[in-house]
Amino acid sequence: MNNLKVLSLFSGIGAFEEALKNLKVEHRLTNYCEFNDIAAKAYSIIHNISEEMNLGDITTVDETKLEDFDLMTYGFPCQDISALGEMKGFVDEEGQLTRSGLFFEAMRIAKYKKPKYMIAENVRMLASKKFKNDLEAMLKLIDEMGYNSYWKVLNSKDYGIPHSRNRIYIVSIRKDIDDGTFEFPKPIKLTKTAHEYYDTFATDDHYLRESDMKYLAEFRLKKKYSSLNADVIICQTTKQGNLANPQNFVKDNKGYRVMTSRELLSLQGFKKEHADKLLKNGITKEQIGKLSGNSITVDVLEGIFKELLLKENTYELQDNLHTIIENNEIHNEKQL
């Protein structure tokens, strides 16, 4: 039975959907919305969904023609909030919406459709002093639309994955169904190291050349914002899949290399087999690195969904999820 209807905005490779599948939450995707052609193709490959379900450019979406949905996920663009970007915020100096300002397009859809739940993710900088007013304005808008919102900065390494990645998560629940009991998942002890995710084989194009080594030895391998054979990798970036400016390195008996597509996706909580499928379908390792760096850690989303859906009887999920958790089936199914 298809219980939970989901609209996925700014979908990327579908971390929210991966989390729902891992938790065996009965759900049906109404549409996904991804502007980037490569990301849309990868999403469809990973989730076995036709690209015809992609709404494409969110600014052209007609909210009046969308099917009703219960949950809206929207990991809206971070480029104008991130410390690595221009930090313009939601509106530029000319009064135009930035890429991060596409948040308001998601709100346009939500205001009309009134889903029960909305979940957003973005960079930690959104919770900083610089963007305090922007965050408060966001929360006020969502409140005026009829939602109670809960937000917190969570680090992936606190939820079972050896990847230090701080992100802000915003969970909004429609006021008429919110009982005020939602809490973000509590941190758990990290029992795995990144070494357990490393592949035993990498092709030659992953290894640093002599020219790469000179630059990287000076500016990357010795700096705190890079990691080499780390127990916990530092935050993946969109450059992680290529040799030009990656952050995480592995040293083995063949030399120094960047991480493989399988390693990168698995350290975001995706199954390694997804990387194999993407590569077989023409997505390059550089593109997979960018997609992984742009994605959300699945394990964190699993924790949020447990807290949100376990306390709701609307979809008759409680018994099912308790059984899954008790049997530890979720992590047993993941391919390391």
User: Are residues 39 and 11 in contact, defined by beta-carbon separation less than 8 angstroms?
Assistant: yes
User: Are residues 235 and 199 in contact, defined by beta-carbon separation less than 8 angstroms?
Assistant: no
Strand pairing category for 4-9 and 27-33: parallel
The residues carrying an active-site annotation are 78
- The amino acid sitting at 170 is I
DSSP 59: G
d(C-alpha 336, C-alpha 319), whole Å: 28
Contacts of 203 (CB under 8 A, 6+ apart): none
d(C-alpha 195, C-alpha 151), whole Å: 32
Centre a 10 Å sphere on the Cβ of residue 3 and count the other Cβ atoms it contains: 14
Q: What angle do CA 182, 184, 185 make, to 5 degrees?
A: 120
Centre a 10 Å sphere on the Cβ of residue 266 and count the other Cβ atoms it contains: 28
